[in-house]
Structure 1
Amino acid sequence: MSANESLGRAQELAERLRARLDSLERLAEAGDVDAAVDDLAEIAELAKQIEAEVQRARASADAGA
């Protein structure tokens, strides 16, 4: 996978992360603790996936440099 592909994937994941953060805020305001905890778990997983894509992009860029 190229650096640009990895960065594109990271951007898609970041958009999903933003949506989950918005959802988390709404759930917190509504007091829906169980759903908020689920969103937090998904946010953590998305953050890990973003980090992995950025590392892949960096490695790909370093290999091509």
Structure 2
Amino acid sequence: MSSSDASLQRAEELLERLKTRVDALEASADGGGDVDEAIDGLAEIAEIAKEIEAEVQRARQAADAGA
């Protein structure tokens, strides 16, 4: 597996984690969830999004290096 493929696979795994966290946050909101819990959830979502962005950037760099 190439470096770019590994980065893309990691990004896909992170995307699934992000979707799960968003779903949990939406369920909490629908149930009248705690504001502090929502803030923590949003912070976690933001962190996962940053990780996805970093993996995509790594994939681009690896692909450019191989081109």
TM category (shorter chain) comes to over 0.9
Structure 1: runs of 5+ lacking an equivalent: none
**C-alpha distance in structure 1 between counterparts of 2:24 and 2:37, whole Å:** 9
The corresponding residue for 1:45 is 47
1:10-49 superposed matches below 5 A: 10-32=11-33, 33-49=35-51
The corresponding residue for 2:9 is 8
Deviations 1:4-62 (A, max 9, x none): 00000000000000000000101111222221111100000000000000000000000
Count the aligned residue pairs. Answer: 65
> TM (normalized to structure 1)?
0.95
**C-alpha distance in structure 2 between counterparts of 1:36 and 1:19, whole Å:** 14
Identical-pair percentage = 65
**CA shift for structure 1 position 63:** 0.1
What's the RMSD between the two structures over aligned residues? Answer: 1.0
